[in-house]
């Protein structure tokens, strides 16, 4: 599991590949880079957090979805 948002700007679907970076204002691109850097600093997610996410999602599926 990874909390990382895939923010490379490259998207692929059955229509082909889109480089969405051209659609991003400079401020958004800069904020995204800072986020990517901060997540890289985490170096992964510990097992306890993975279990907490699993527990939380299970609750949602039973009660809200």
Q: Total binding residues for other proteins by CB under 8 A?
A: 27
Q: Which of 1, 8, 49, 58 binds other proteins (CB under 8 A)?
A: 49
Residue 48: enclosing H or E segment and its boundaries?
A: helix 47-63
Q: Are 6 and 36 in contact (CB under 8 A)?
A: no
- Quote the DSSP letter at residue 45: -
- Quote the DSSP letter at residue 33: H
Rule CB under 8 A: which of 3-22 touch other proteins?
Answer: 3, 5, 20
> Which residues contact other proteins (rule: CB under 8 A)?
3, 5, 20, 23-25, 27-28, 31-32, 34-35, 37-39, 41-42, 48-49, 52-53, 55-56, 60, 63-65
């Amino acid at each position: 599991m990874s909390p990382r948002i895939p923010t490379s700007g490259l998207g692929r679907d059955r229509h082909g590949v889109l480089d969405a970076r051209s659609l991003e204002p400079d401020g958004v691109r800069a904020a995204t880079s800072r986020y990517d850097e901060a997540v890289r600093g985490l170096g992964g997610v510990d097992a306890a957090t993975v279990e907490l996410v699993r527990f939380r999602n299970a609750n949602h599926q039973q009660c809200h979805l």
